[in-house]
Structure 1
């Protein structure tokens, strides 16, 4: 498979994964009393149009912020060969960069009035960042040490 075809396939699968992740809280919302799901939205900041993180659940003074990543640890280089550079790259793409993205968006929402954001994030007292990945990281101690 050519790199161009592989990239198109990854984008296609990524979109399906994102829609799947989006549907879970949307379908659960009616049963969650006092909780509200807010899907990804576009907002203006410093004359730029930006997309928010992929979704939010607002519950009283708590805000859960979601970023969906249709990625996993690289099978050949990371899991089979144990290449530490590949591992570092994977963890950066899966966890570190999405966490930085969530943090940067939240700083903008809280620090600056943004006219296109209809949600009042100022009442939020506690924020929980959740990064949903396609692959499993469970039970791998070095992963948790690197993330921390």
Structure 2
């Protein structure tokens, strides 16, 4: 257990980079969503980061036995994690948009059905009044 704690404390400075990268990518994805109306553009930063991650990963496999090989593999893992979280953020934005649009349609349907119910009740009252006269 102490070996694991020592290992985490040794690499803790490099572990602080990941949340910062993820947060930056999420913020960029949200900003691009609000700036543009095109659906695919919000995925563009994450796709670019993912492609860079794949290239860095391939390069790190080629030089894995050298002293820089493991560091470049860490960079590739960090970048790929950031890209996956950014793509997931884009999907969540799309989910919110579709839920909001479905709720809007459902509200209109409910309003229409309430209006039809009121018309039906008014017609039934008129018919009752006509029968009573």
**TM-score, structure 2 normalization:** 0.37
More helix by share: 2
More strand by share: 1
**TM-score, structure 1 normalization:** 0.34
